[in-house]
Structure 1
Amino acid sequence: MERATRLFDCINTQAKAPRANFLNAKESGAWKAYSTKEAHDLIYQLSAALLDLGVSAGDGTTEGRDKIGLISNGRPEWVITDLAVQQTGAVLVPLYPNTGTRDIEQILNEAEVKYVFVSSKDLCDKVKEVHLNIPSLKGIFTFDHIDECTHWGTLLKPLKEGRLQQIKQISNQITENDIATIIYTSGTTGRPKGVMLTHKNIMSNAAASGDVLSRIPLKEKCVLSFLPLNHIFEKMCTYVYLFNGFSIYYAENMDTIGANLKEVKPSLFTAVPRLLEKVFEKIMVEGQKLTGIKRKIFFWAVKVAEAYEINDSSLGYKIKLAVADKLVFSKWRNAIGGNIKSIVVGSSACPIKLERIFTAAGIVILEGYGLTETSPVIAVNRYEKSGRKFGTVGPLLGGVEAKIAADGEILCKGPNVMAGYYKNPELTAEVIEDEWFHTGDIGELDKDSFLKITDRKKEIFKTSGGKYVAPLPIENKMKENYFIEQMMVCGSERKFVSALIVPSYTHLKPWCKQHEIPFSSNRDLVKDARVIELYQSIINTYNPEFNHVEQVKKITLLPDEWSIDSGELTPTGKMKRKIIAEKYKAQIDKMYPSEVSDNPTLVN
């Protein structure tokens, strides 16, 4: 069998093992399934329509190839459009649905996008708002039926004789080294950068990641997808599914994930740590409602899970774990469909405490690491116990090389490393030197070649005393406490380390009721002396785990959670430290009077 080298080669792979429920999504409240044949027909019809619109590979260079924009939630049409565009030799430029109009205009102009596909009216309106400022843009098509917008269905027509052969003749000219997509990174600071990824880049990552997933004993090849498909993590995983015979179900939205999991009963899914935190919060809230012996058993089981070690083979612990599983953990698994074997986690650091708890409950957390520029996976934990270590992002992915530079930065080399930043050779040269990509992350490889991320190079700061502080380990450790929802360590060019903390109001409010603390709002809570005392005690508990310069001396509690919509988080949930520091400058400044106490103090 000829080796697949282009992403759209998955079409031939799927045709050999067709599925009735290949791509699936909710339409008018009911699941609609697209069979393999139906999806393939739509892919070829759209490819033909794009060719009729004049979309082409141009002169074959990246600049010469036409660019097609795609702004949509995850749904079958997303995948169909992606594969259809690829077959024409054009380049897909996908954007986050929550991208602002200014960035939409900047990205579509820089990429000289010719046509844009959007899912909904609000996204159509966003593009229309800046349409006249984008000279290259010839048309907008929508997946939903919207008045005064052109539905993509108007492009889809049965293929005339010879069209399929024409499409294949064109697609046969596309090589593994051609650019398949340009993904603009949101970034925690600065202007979005267009990452050029070839078919080979993503194919190499998908093939090696597919080998990792093949070792998970799945009951069925069925997944629920809900992360943004323009993010390289979910996009690459989609190709793993497409090449390996999975049925893909797309969640309606982030609020329906729980219900969709029960309906679909997937064997695995991908997630960001923030979602796991939210799921566990809900589990703990339900546990708080229990009374008597049931409550005692629940919290005993959580304690058992917190003590989980991957290679703990002691008979005593095995018995405890079996009892906890029968009485408590089995109910957790049933609440998310009953078939989940594993959750693949990426994008940001996952709290070790959550890894232990979910894995102990029979839901193995496989944390990985990578960047858009590396397609994305550099390292990932495996399902088999020998390939997993808590506190690491696992061994290197097959075909990927990594080394640690003298300053601790992780460097990566392999077929997964991007072709470069679009129209920005200077920036490309800054991050790729002698084929080694500079990740900007600080880490270490242990004696067993497991990779551990310790911080972002650009986020490490120096106090006014000249001491360097890495904020990420401090934040990750302290966020293991249930009462801390979000946290940002501060102290650049300051005398000591401080922190902004968003309490977990899901846990704090029941605690306040239990201690008869009256409140009418979050703002009341963060000013209450007993709440202040609670958080001071939490900081006091964790501070001894860090050296003196790293210890948090003062904290400020905040009433509002940071979010993507309010601008403090990137679309993948990473903190925009610069934005947060600017927004809360007054609160940060208050933590630095002339006198410094050695004990944590809360400032409001």
Structure 2
Amino acid sequence: MILPWSRPTSGRLKMQPERQYREDPPEDALHPDWREDDHLIQLLVHNAREHSDEVALRERHRGIWHEYTWQNYLDHVMSLAAGLEARGVRAGDRILVVGDNRPALYFGMLAAVCLKAIPSPAYPDTNPAELQGQMEAEAIRCALVEDQEQVDKLLSVRENGYDRLQLIVFDDERGLKGEEPKGAVSTLDLMAQGQQEREKRPGLDADLQSRVSVHDIAVLLHSSGTTGAPKGVPLKHGHILSGVRSASTAGYFRKGEVHMAYLPMAWVGDFIFTVGAALALRFCVNIPEKQETALHDLREIAPTLYFSSPRAWSNMLTRIQVGINESSPFKRRLYHHFMPFAVELERRRLEGKVPSALERFWRGVGEVLIYGPIKDHLGLSRVERPYTAGEAIGEDVFLFFRALGLNLLQFYGQTENCALCVAQPPDSISLHTAGKPFPGVDLKINKDGEILVRANNIFDGYFNNPDATQETLQDGWMHTGDAGYLEEDGQLVVLGRVSEVVYTEAGDRFIPTYVENRLKFSQYIKDACILGRERAFLAALIVIDMEAVGHWAEEHGVAYTSFSDLSQKAEVYDLINGEVVHVNTVLPEGLQIRRFVNLHKEFDPDDGEVTRTRKLKRKVIDQHYSPIIDALYDGRRAIEYEARISYETGASGMLKRHLTVHDVIPARVAEEA
């Protein structure tokens, strides 16, 4: 394996139209090969016409699955579009979308697209202050939300001085029906109004469908915002369809996939899979009852396509391990016999070795006794195309699911290229590579080691941010901001962010995210922040995984009362020490982790420590944990740390925590002790 340091350096509210988002040069000059009528709405119309009775979307509500055919889908979109227009929504308006995955929110986004308005999703756990920032930046005057919780957030924003919000459309009527705030209307009432408009104007549907262009913005997504305010990323119909068709050509998507929509609607992967690919390839999209029941609903859905983050795959593995430890002795023996066998078999297969006839026989026995039942229990028995993306996945996690018989593949991409850029080819898997470019995607590494890409699915510029656009798009190439290199067979290895390439006091070059990802490969470590820039050695702030470490503590008789208490147990420090030592084995001598602290809490997006996608905000962490960082480097073995905590009411307080500072003990020394 080549390491990074071995490479070179509701009433009718009239909304006055505002200035629409424009681009220079003219749209058709940017993509002369795009066909004007090739867009998401045209695909929806085609599906409703040619496959009207085919199920397009299913939602579990109060334990019952409710189905929407393609014709139902189109009717809902048209009624909502007519209703929104009757309420004053116009071309160029940005429409805030907030909530968990719900059919009405997807219908509403496409309804906005019919009006040439721009849906702008936000994460459902975004707090009012962050929402206000997004609304101010995008001059939001209309919002489409899930329930009373999100309505209350918007009312808070309005009370905080944002008076431009005129229309709030909500889906779940509980707590709101009959007591709607000013300017609020339910999706059902809005659809009823839209249906009346359609009945009064027989040609309205055709008019709405004809307005859309392939050059229109289909969705306004946002960058993670690790180093500042998130940037708006407008993706046009042409970008999305180019990416989806490229992935389909390469065999990563197929027509008629069964897909579960549970990822945040503000994440690019959800829009691409649940809207873009679903419309282009007629997926049957399934929406779980709520996030808490997603894993249970997954078994009933039994998808053929499953896309999840490395963290979710790791959590699924932890769930399996906990379940096995709580099962009968006979089941545990079977598991501990067959799983290591399958993992080793898969490891050797990836090295190009062919299993013997006897090994294939026992692999078949294991499929009946262990692998098949586990996949069925998880709801993955029909998955033919399982994917992971967002960050590096742990080798143990990756091998485990491949050993089960799932052809798990890694994707690499950004919001700016519709998340469809590079993927592992099914017949050439490597544990450390991200794969090869999709058809139609050009990729190269510049002299600074930065990954550059060029393709039709790459965005045309950030929203109202020409400086950032000029920095990212240069000479027809998109600068990803990621460092990497190409293997001899053309596979891409991603090392981390170029901006995060730093040096120790001795001049040793390293990328913190590379080390952090390897720490997070451990089931016991949920998050980590590597320190060491211009320091004498590397140190780490560790966030334990409460579920995995808690189960380990119960198995080993370690009593605890809370996350904070568990994290500071001597036995837990020894456990984490072993994980750090394991990571140190792949690090050069000068870049090994020497000291670490188990934090008393998780990194919290509401505290600004991580983004909504769980990416570290290093400047904030350096500020929040400055006393702890000082203790790591001045030789102290413990620190009394005063931690500021925030309550749901908005109030805050201080708690004093005693934290241990732990020197990393090499494995042989620990054994002798």
How far 1:137 sits from its partner (Å)? 2.7
What residue identity is the alignment partner of 2:587?
A: F
**Which residue number in structure 1 is paired with residue 206 of structure 2?**
168
**Which residue number in structure 2 is paired with residue 462 of structure 1?**
503
**Which residue number in structure 1 is paired with residue 14 of structure 2?**
none
**Which residue number in structure 1 is paired with residue 261 of structure 2?**
225
How far 1:589 sits from its partner (Å)? 1.6
Q: Relative to 1, partners in 2 of residues 1:214 and 1:366: Cα closer, same or farther, differing over 3 Å?
A: closer
- Match 2:187 to one of 133, 137, 152: 152
**Which residue number in structure 1 is paired with residue 299 of structure 2?**
262
**Which residue number in structure 1 is paired with residue 488 of structure 2?**
447
After the TM superposition, which residues 294-313 of structure 1 pair with which residues of structure 2 at under 5 Å, given as runs?
294-307=331-344, 308-309=346-347, 310=350, 311-313=352-354
1:8 and 2:50 aligned? no
Residues of 1 paired with 2:281 and 2:496: CA distance? 34
Could you tell me whether the CA contact under 8 Å between 1:13 and 1:243 is conserved in 2? no
Deviations 1:552-595 (A, max 9, x none): 11111224333545654322232333333333222222110269
Q: Relative to 1, partners in 2 of residues 1:134 and 1:209: Cα closer, same or farther, differing over 3 Å?
A: farther
Query: Which range moved further: 423-432 or 476-485?
Result: 476-485
Could you tell me whether the CA contact under 8 Å between 2:36 and 2:214 is conserved in 1? no
Could you tell me whether the CA contact under 8 Å between 1:225 and 1:270 is conserved in 2? no
Deviations 1:519-563 (A, max 9, x none): 444444443434333333332333132112221111112243335
Could you tell me whether the CA contact under 8 Å between 2:223 and 2:233 is conserved in 1? yes
Could you tell me whether the CA contact under 8 Å between 1:205 and 1:416 is conserved in 2? yes
- Match 1:141 to one of 153, 157, 169: 169
1:34 and 2:68 aligned? yes
Q: Relative to 1, partners in 2 of residues 1:320 and 1:458: Cα closer, same or farther, differing over 3 Å?
A: farther
Residues of 1 paired with 2:62 and 2:158: CA distance? 30
1:83 and 2:110 aligned? yes
Q: Relative to 1, partners in 2 of residues 1:42 and 1:467: Cα closer, same or farther, differing over 3 Å?
A: same
1:326 and 2:372 aligned? no
**Which residue number in structure 1 is paired with residue 215 of structure 2?**
177
After the TM superposition, which residues 257-296 of structure 1 pair with which residues of structure 2 at under 5 Å, given as runs?
257-296=294-333
Percent identity for Structure 1 against Structure 2: 26
Deviations 1:103-150 (A, max 9, x none): 222222222223111111011111122236345432111111123332
Q: What are structure 2's unaligned runs of at least 5 residues?
A: 1-34, 638-660, 667-673
- Match 1:202 to one of 240, 260, 265: 240
Q: Relative to 1, partners in 2 of residues 1:170 and 1:226: Cα closer, same or farther, differing over 3 Å?
A: closer
Q: Relative to 1, partners in 2 of residues 1:352 and 1:69: Cα closer, same or farther, differing over 3 Å?
A: same
Could you tell me whether the CA contact under 8 Å between 1:188 and 1:575 is conserved in 2? yes
Deviations 1:143-195 (A, max 9, x none): 11123332122222435458463443454343322222222333223112111
Could you tell me whether the CA contact under 8 Å between 2:118 and 2:219 is conserved in 1? yes
How far 1:494 sits from its partner (Å)? 1.3
**Which residue number in structure 2 is paired with residue 435 of structure 1?**
476
**Which residue number in structure 2 is paired with residue 346 of structure 1?**
389
Residues of 2 paired with 1:287 and 1:38: CA distance? 43
**Which residue number in structure 1 is paired with residue 415 of structure 2?**
372
Q: Relative to 1, partners in 2 of residues 1:274 and 1:116: Cα closer, same or farther, differing over 3 Å?
A: same
**Which residue number in structure 2 is paired with residue 107 of structure 1?**
134
Q: Relative to 1, partners in 2 of residues 1:346 and 1:165: Cα closer, same or farther, differing over 3 Å?
A: farther
Could you tell me whether the CA contact under 8 Å between 2:62 and 2:289 is conserved in 1? no
**Which residue number in structure 2 is paired with residue 385 of structure 1?**
427
Query: Which range moved further: 159-168 or 531-540?
Result: 159-168
Q: Relative to 1, partners in 2 of residues 1:519 and 1:169: Cα closer, same or farther, differing over 3 Å?
A: closer
What residue identity is the alignment partner of 1:366?
A: L
Q: Relative to 1, partners in 2 of residues 1:14 and 1:139: Cα closer, same or farther, differing over 3 Å?
A: same
**Which residue number in structure 2 is paired with residue 126 of structure 1?**
153
Query: Which range moved further: 402-411 or 150-159?
Result: 150-159
How far 1:260 sits from its partner (Å)? 0.4
Residues of 1 paired with 2:202 and 2:502: CA distance? 58
1:113 is paired with a residue whose SS is coil
Q: Relative to 1, partners in 2 of residues 1:564 and 1:302: Cα closer, same or farther, differing over 3 Å?
A: farther
Residues of 2 paired with 1:232 and 1:164: CA distance? 36
**Which residue number in structure 1 is paired with residue 450 of structure 2?**
409
How far 1:211 sits from its partner (Å)? 3.2
**Which residue number in structure 1 is paired with residue 51 of structure 2?**
17
Could you tell me whether the CA contact under 8 Å between 1:4 and 1:10 is conserved in 2? no
Residues of 2 paired with 1:74 and 1:212: CA distance? 28
Query: Which range moved further: 523-532 or 29-38?
Result: 523-532
2:430 is paired with a residue whose SS is coil
1:236 and 2:278 aligned? no
**Which residue number in structure 2 is paired with residue 61 of structure 1?**
none
- Match 2:402 to one of 354, 359, 364: 359
After the TM superposition, which residues 473-488 of structure 1 pair with which residues of structure 2 at under 5 Å, given as runs?
473-488=514-529
Could you tell me whether the CA contact under 8 Å between 1:304 and 1:320 is conserved in 2? no
Residues of 2 paired with 1:348 and 1:556: CA distance? 23
Q: What are structure 1's unaligned runs of at least 5 residues?
A: 58-64
Residues of 1 paired with 2:80 and 2:148: CA distance? 21
What residue identity is the alignment partner of 2:167?
A: G
Query: Which range moved further: 470-479 or 153-162?
Result: 153-162
Q: Relative to 1, partners in 2 of residues 1:323 and 1:557: Cα closer, same or farther, differing over 3 Å?
A: farther
2:360 is paired with a residue whose SS is helix
Residues of 2 paired with 1:434 and 1:586: CA distance? 45
Could you tell me whether the CA contact under 8 Å between 1:272 and 1:572 is conserved in 2? no
Could you tell me whether the CA contact under 8 Å between 2:114 and 2:211 is conserved in 1? no
**Which residue number in structure 1 is paired with residue 378 of structure 2?**
336
Tell me how large the CA RMSD over aligned residues is.
2.7
How far 1:599 sits from its partner (Å)? 6.6
Could you tell me whether the CA contact under 8 Å between 1:341 and 1:362 is conserved in 2? no
Query: Which range moved further: 231-240 or 142-151?
Result: 142-151
How far 1:598 sits from its partner (Å)? 13
2:505 is paired with a residue whose SS is coil
Q: Relative to 1, partners in 2 of residues 1:165 and 1:320: Cα closer, same or farther, differing over 3 Å?
A: same
Deviations 1:36-58 (A, max 9, x none): 2122111111222223233333x
Residues of 1 paired with 2:508 and 2:618: CA distance? 20
TM-score by length of structure 1 reads 0.90
Q: Relative to 1, partners in 2 of residues 1:588 and 1:305: Cα closer, same or farther, differing over 3 Å?
A: farther
Q: Relative to 1, partners in 2 of residues 1:318 and 1:478: Cα closer, same or farther, differing over 3 Å?
A: farther
- How many corresponding residue pairs? 590
- Match 2:435 to one of 388, 394, 397: 394
Deviations 1:430-482 (A, max 9, x none): 11111211111111121222222111122232222222211223223333333
Residues of 2 paired with 1:450 and 1:164: CA distance? 54
